[in-house]
Amino acid sequence: MLNRIRPALGRVLTPIGRTVARTGVSPNAITVIGTAGVAAGALVLFPRGEFFWGTLVITAFVLFDMLDGAVARVTGKISKFGAFLDSTLDRVADAAIFSGLMIGLYRDGQHVLAGVALFCLVAGVVVSYAKARAEGLGYTCNVGIAERSERLLIALVAAGLDGLGVPYVLAIALWVLAVLSTVTVGQRFATVYAQAKAAPAPEAAGPATSGESGNSEDEENGEKAHAKAGPGPRR
């Protein structure tokens, strides 16, 4: 859903990417630093109940992490490994955010809500893996009411508002996320099932038995999908 703003986002990020590229920092370094910052903010501040400050730190590093694709394009350093690294570390960042929320809620005595946060974490992984596996088998799976961008936006806005003392907002957001993530998994299963039923399985892009095929949710990451944007090999 939020992918519709990708063209506008690209126009904003490209000049910033040129500026960052002059410092000599590589796109892969941006990816690693961004993920490390998100994980630190989520796993240090959220478990202490510092949801507002944790959200600010995470948001800052998420925005920084979005520059990797822009820098890759303006420098010509685009590669499949960059896309692989980006997608894989996105899963690490997502897991850190929801793990931090889960620990913070559990320590606060909100055990049921902590369980919902755990469900959101697992459901998010399944959403991403379903797309990755489908694409690894040669199907298309660009569907879902709650892709990565939507899930992060809902979780971080709710956590920040909760940190400011707004009641019930985090609980409502997590329950909504749990439902939307479940629906998204169902949408992706239905989409792939329809394609599989309509025609023989297309030739897979890689070994079909590996269980690790696909690019996960590169398309959902806007300007961050290194291998999806711009010409030239990434070095």
Q: Is residue 209 scored above 50 in pLDDT?
A: no
The residue among 9 and 86 whose pLDDT is bigger is 86
Q: Is residue 58 scored above 90 in pLDDT?
A: yes
Please write the tens of the pLDDT for every residue from 118-150: 999 999 999 999 999 999 999 999 888 988 888
Q: Is residue 213 scored above 50 in pLDDT?
A: no
Model confidence band, residue 69 (pLDDT cutoffs 50, 70, 90): confident
Ordered by start, the domain boundaries in the chain are 2-228
Tell me, what's the pLDDT at 200?
A: 66
Q: Is residue 222 scored above 80 in pLDDT?
A: no
The residue whose two tokens read 């009641």 is 167
Q: Is residue 216 scored above 70 in pLDDT?
A: no
Q: What are the backbone angles phi and psi of residue 233, rounded to the nearest 5°?
A: -75, 145
Please write the tens of the pLDDT for every residue from 91-126: 999 999 999 999 999 999 999 999 999 999 999 999
Residue 163 near residue 53, CB atoms below 8 Å? yes
Residue percentage of the chain with pLDDT more than 90:
57
Domain 2-228 in CATH 1.20.120.1760? The answer is: yes
Cα 59 from Cα 89, distance rounded (Å): 16
Q: What is the mean pLDDT of residues 184-210?
A: 76
Which of the following is catalytic: 65, 68, 86, 90?
Answer: 90
162 is catalytic: no
Tell me, what's the pLDDT at 234?
A: 41
Q: What is the number of other CB atoms lying within 10 angstroms of the CB of residue 24?
A: 8
Degrees (nearest 5) of the Cα angle 159, 65, 39?
50
Q: Is residue 166 scored above 90 in pLDDT?
A: yes
Lowest mean pLDDT among 3-12, 52-61, 99-108, 116-125: 3-12
Q: What is the mean pLDDT of residues 187-200?
A: 90
Tell me, what's the pLDDT at 3?
A: 59
Tell me, what's the pLDDT at 226?
A: 44
Average of per-residue pLDDT values in the chain: 84
Q: In terms of Cα–Cα distance, which of 33, 36, 5, 7 is closest to 20?
A: 33
